[in-house]
Structure formats: C-alpha cells, structure tokens
Structure 1
C-alpha cells in the first residue's frame, strides 16, 4: 500500500486510567435511541470541541471515519497519522482513539453498535472491523462519496424500509473495507492485546446468549477465565462491569421491541427470557428510569 498520503506518523501512549469510555464523542449516557446506527458529518461534532476529540474509547461501538477533504490527525491505539488526502479509518470497539481536524475538514463519522457489526460481518473475515487500519481512498473516492451521501440521506429521514436500506448501504461499505483488509492480510498483523481478545469473545457470546440470562460465571468459563478476571477486563476496557454490559444489551433489545414492534410488554418480557413481566418492568425502569409503557409513549 502507498503510504505517501500520510504526512506524519508517530506512536503515542496514554495512561489507561485517564482514558474515558464514551457512547458517542463526549457522551457517557446510554445509547440515545434504539437505533444501532449514528451518522453525522465530522464538522458537526468536532466544531463543538474546538476541532479536537480527546483520546477516549467506546465499549460497544465500532466507528468508520471518512475524511473527504482538509487535514486530520487520526490517533488510534497509540499510532497517530496525519492524513491530507481522502481516507477511511476503522476504529474498533475498545480502541483508544482521538482526533484533531483542520477547520476546513470534510467527511463523515459512522458509528455502529457492536450487535449490528457482528450481524453484518458474520460472513466476512472476523478481523475486518477489529483492527484499527487507515486506508487511502484512492480511485474509489467517487464511489465512497456517493455511498456516504446515500447513508446520510437515508439516516436523516424516516422513509419506509429505512432500517433495511441503511443496513444494505452499510453492508456495501463493509464489503469494501473487507476487500481492502484481505489485500493487506498477507502482511504481519499488529500484536493483539490478550485482554481485549477476552472481552471481544465475551461480547460475541453475549450477543448469542443474552436472552438466556447466563450468569457471569458461565460467560467467564466459556471465555476461559475467571469471573473476577472478566469483570476486571470489562471495567478496564469497556468502562463497566460484565453484568452492566449484559443489562445494557437487554435494555437495548427491549427498547427496539417497544419502539419498532407492536409486541405487548408481556410479549417483550417473554422474548427476552424474563420469568415474569413484572420483573421485566422493574428491571427496565431501574436501568432507564421509566417504565416500559411510558418509554413507548414517549417515543
């Protein structure tokens, strides 16, 4: 790959204890909507932070930045690259990252909740969205411009079939990234953090079994570590305990059912594996501050 479009590259370090865990840039609150997708322009968010996003990580989000114009210093996992030509940057979940942009920056940030990434990448190489790689857009700029324009347009309206269309468009993007990844697969991969691999294995198991209400000990045993070790890793890398991650996944699915289906609260409770609707309602209110019916009315 031609790296002439990198003006500068250097390795940086940040103390892990000083790195906050955000849902979106600068936001520590729970995922704001039942959507699994968030898309906005780079200037839209970065101008609020004086064109600099401080180093942080996301416990359950994967991001793709598309830099169309201007300059951007993209720091991911301790490596900083100054980009001056169109490029795609993959930011895996749990990766420490921060950005600095010129005031004439153009481009987009696409944030994808981990469950959606797992679903859409199920037929792709497992490492495609787990490795922080920056790709030069090269001669694919026209296609990427058109693709992101379509994603932004579809994201901003509530047309019939919106979710299906967004997933189709994002699938096209992921296939493009996958092809780039496969072209680089013969090169030596960067060393993997064993702790991150354990957390990634846990989140994959969580996606498959959250409705079964596995105890943390069972998840830990399946990963091959103790429950205490799993909790410590989750707190270090995701900013929350393993149980909190389980609860958040249940809440996210409950919100989606309440907003996007006509299922009753009792049916939602059953679909999520709760023994009693009353217990589900108490759980939902404890986690969100409102009862399921009230949440549905608010939306």
Structure 2
C-alpha cells in the first residue's frame, strides 16, 4: 500500500503544490513524466480538495492507488481520481501519458448533462481497442492547452466534454457487463444446485459439475462462495449430510443401508464423513433424535 496509516495526508492543489494554480485556467494538463520525474517516479499519498484528475497511462507501467484500491497498470488505462480521495502513484521510468486536472466548478459545469456523475467515483478503465482514439484526444487537449489561440477555452471545454462522454459510456458499459456477469453467476449457481440435487449420490468431482456448466472449477467455487456463502465442496457435503440425517431420522434403514444409498464405498467411510460434518457418529445422531 502506498498510504501510511500514521502520516498525515497532505492536501495539494497539484502534485506537491499548495500554492495557487500555475495558470488562470480551471484546467491543468501535463505529461506524467514531467512531474513524476522530479519525485523519482513516485507521487506520495495526498489528496486534492477542489479538483478531479484524469490520469492516462499510455505506455510503461504504473501502480495507481486511490482510496486503498490498487491498480497495477501494464497496458493503456485511464484512472479517475475524484476530489478529496487519497491517492498515490508509482511509475516506471519509461512511462508515457498525461495528467489532466480539472477544477470542481468546471467538472460540475461539464458533467451536468451526463446521466451519471462519473468523476465522483474512483475507477480505472482499460483502454483496449480505443487506444488511438484516446491518444488523439489527449494529444489534442495537450496541444490546445499549450497554445494561446483564439477560442482556446471553448475548444478545451469541448475536447474535455468529449472525454467525459467517453468515460460515461465506458462506466455504463462496465456496469452493464458486471450486472450481466452477476446474472449469469446466479444462473450458474442455480443450475449447479439443480445438478447437485440430481447427482449428489454419485460423488462427482467439482470439475465434473463445472464442466457440465461450461465453466472452470475455480469459477464455480468463486460463485458458490460469493453467492452461496460456501465453497462448492461444502455445498456438496452439506447436501449429503442433509440426506443422511433424513434417512437416519425418518427411515428404519441400517447405517450400512444409509451408506449404500448415499453412494459411499464403505460404511466406515460414511461414518467418518458424517462425524466430521456433525461431530457425532450416525448411531449417536439417531439415538439422540
């Protein structure tokens, strides 16, 4: 973690600066290397009270920490750093990219028409196939920022508005993708439970169940833990234990017959399994019920 638990977090206007902005703009744009080179490629944890930053890593490597969430970037990515969020960065010496800082009044003005206030929450967006588009957009912002030409303010605001629309669309797409993944996860879990109900006596491996669902065993385990609160193996064992308890309480089957009905190869193995899961032997469990 970049942030220290005991060191007070400074509040800066820009990286390492507590003075006023270097220009009268509500915008500041510079290369990542321009500032981080002065700090040995590491920006210590700090926060900004009145500005939002957009950090575009085009090349090289970076470790980006915002409010305790760490993103290790090795491909083009755009990090949103909201106002007041504690953040710190580390960069490789070959890093390329831009830092765009926006004063809150400008952020409120430009993001007002958007449905989602995407600059109010920290996020790191992979650029993927849109690298050339983002490269051109940031290059245009940087060039416009560096030259005092007629219509400069309007052009900058227009270009930044385009960038905010891109971020808004990417945020919406990721949210929809995550929702779809959650829905698919629930469907997979429900199907696993259905298969388990049909086949728990066969003592199938987690890999077999996962293959039937078209997912990996690790994915199935993750779904079970996230949505069911147990691992896949725990769910299998709990289903076997439930059926064993039912047989011991509601039927007159012997312990050996219960063991056979549940697919155990030996009664001794069944007894060990039952005691491990309940703390009692099958016989003791039946007597106490």
TM range (shorter): 0.5 to 0.7
The 1:17–1:51 alpha-carbon spacing in structure 2 relative to 1, beyond 3 Å, is closer
Partner of 2:74: 84
Question: How far has the Cα of 1:125 moved from its partner?
Answer: 2.9
Which consecutive residues of structure 1, in runs of 5 or more, have no partner in the other structure? 1-10, 190-299
Determine which of 55, 63, 73 is the counterpart of 1:73.
Answer: 63
Partner of 1:146: 136
Equivalent residues of 1:154, 1:162 under 8 A apart = yes
Q: For residues 269-289 of structure 1, what are the alpha-carbon distances to aligned partners after superposition, in whole Å with 9 as ceiling and x for unaligned?
A: xxxxxxxxxxxxxxxxxxxxx
Equivalent residues of 2:3, 2:88 under 8 A apart = no
TM-score normalised by the chain length of structure 2: 0.59
Q: For residues 239-277 of structure 1, what are the alpha-carbon distances to aligned partners after superposition, in whole Å with 9 as ceiling and x for unaligned?
A: xxxxxxxxxxxxxxxxxxxxxxxxxxxxxxxxxxxxxxx
Question: How far has the Cα of 1:17 moved from its partner?
Answer: 6.2
Question: How far has the Cα of 1:126 moved from its partner?
Answer: 3.9
Note if 1:107 corresponds to 2:90. Answer: no
TM-score normalised by the chain length of structure 1: 0.57
Equivalent residues of 2:33, 2:95 under 8 A apart = yes
SS of the aligned residue for 2:153 comes to helix
Partner of 1:30: 20
SS of the aligned residue for 2:24 comes to coil
Q: Count how many residue pairs are aligned between Structure 1 and Structure 2.
A: 179
CA distance in 2, matches of 1:166, 1:91: 20
Q: For residues 41-96 of structure 1, what are the alpha-carbon distances to aligned partners after superposition, in whole Å with 9 as ceiling and x for unaligned?
A: 00000000000000000000100011000000001010111100000000000110
CA distance in 1, matches of 2:176, 2:134: 25
CA distance in 1, matches of 2:155, 2:163: 13
CA distance in 1, matches of 2:177, 2:7: 32
SS of the aligned residue for 1:129 comes to helix
Please show how residues 1-299 of structure 1 align to structure 2 within 5 Å.
Answer: 14-15=4-5, 18-186=8-176
* Structure (1 or 2) with the larger CA radius of gyration: 2
Which one scores higher on RCO, CA 8 angstroms, separation ≥ 6?
Answer: 1
Which consecutive residues of structure 2, in runs of 5 or more, have no partner in the other structure? 180-289
Partner of 1:242: none
